[in-house]
Amino acid sequence: MSILLFLQVLAMFVGFGLTVGSGILLSLIIDAGDANATGIAALATRSVSMIGGISVGVATVLGVGVASSLGYPLLSTWLVVIYVCAALIIVLAFGVLRPWTLRLAHAAEATDQTPGALKQVAHERARGAGPLVGVLWVIAIAMMVFKP
């Protein structure tokens, strides 16, 4: 059981680092204003975030197994909060952030023809979904740590 718990925590840690970490790094690169670096970072973020998402999926399955084996009811309040956070993270990641990152990469590639496009895409409202995902992560992690 302790091996499953270790693997669940490891998978969640890796998933968090690859999803949120790559998003923060992309944001810093965008703010630097280099179109080539932004395009490369946007494409890299898509790949790294996908690996992180798979890791989070594995962690979720392991987490349900660990919670169940420890005797927690799977509809406990703290678990339901985690389920809701996870669902919102998935919706924001695939419905908002992933398409925005792709638009960002395309705008960076076309910066020679349309120099203002990159700046416009970089400051779309979709970028605000990143910090929201970070807050949802903090809530989910707090629920896992403190288990009310």
pLDDT confidence tier of residue 148, bands split at 50, 70 and 90: low
Per the structure block, which two tokens stand in for 86? 């996870």
Across the chain, what does the average pLDDT equal?
89
Q: DSSP secondary-structure letter at 34?
A: -
Q: Write down the pLDDT at residue 72.
A: 92
Give me the DSSP letters along 35-65: HHHHHHHHHHHHHHHHHHHHHHHHHHHHHHH
What are phi and psi for residue 117, nearest 5 degrees?
Answer: -65, -40
Maximum distance among all Cα pairs of the chain, rounded to whole angstroms: 60
Q: Rounded to an integer, what distance in angstroms lies between the CA atom of residue 106 and that of residue 64?
A: 39
Q: Taking the CA atoms of 107, 111, 117 and 119 in sequence, report the sign of the dihedral they define.
A: positive
5-27 mean pLDDT: 92
> For the segment 110-130, what is each residue's pLDDT rounded down to a tens digit?
877 776 888 888 888 888 899
Does the pLDDT at position 7 exceed 80? yes
Residue 33: its pLDDT value, please? 83
Directed axis angle between helix 77-92 and helix 129-146, to 10°? 160
pTM, two decimals, is 0.84
